[in-house]
Amino acid sequence: MEISQLRGIANELRVDIIRMLVEAGSGHPGGSLSCIDMLVTLFFHKMRHRPADPNWADRDRLVLSKGHCVPALYAVLAKAGYFSREELLSLRKLNSRLQGHPDRNRLPGIEASTGSLGQGLSVALGMALAGKVSKKEYRVYCVNSDGECQAGQIWEAAMAAPKFKLDNLCVLLDYNKIQLSGEIKDIMDLEPLLDKWRAFNWHTLEIAGHDFAAIIQALEAAEKIKQNPTMILCHTTKGKGVSFMEGKWEWHGKAPNREEGERAIKEILAGA
> Can you give the residue ranges of every domain in the chain?
3-270
Phi, psi for residue 128 in degrees, rounded to 5 = -65, -40
Among 3.40.50.200, 3.40.190.10, 1.10.10.10, 3.40.50.970, name the CATH number for the domain at 3-270. Answer: 3.40.50.970
The predicted pLDDT at position 1 comes to: 87
Residue 55 is predicted with a pLDDT of: 96
**Structure letter (DSSP) for residue 94:** T
Three-state secondary-structure class, residue 129: helix
For the chain, residues with pLDDT lower than 50 are none
- The pLDDT, as a whole number, for residue 138 is 98
Is beta strand 178-179 parallel, antiparallel or unpaired with respect to 169-175?
unpaired
pLDDT (0 to 100) of residue 272? 66
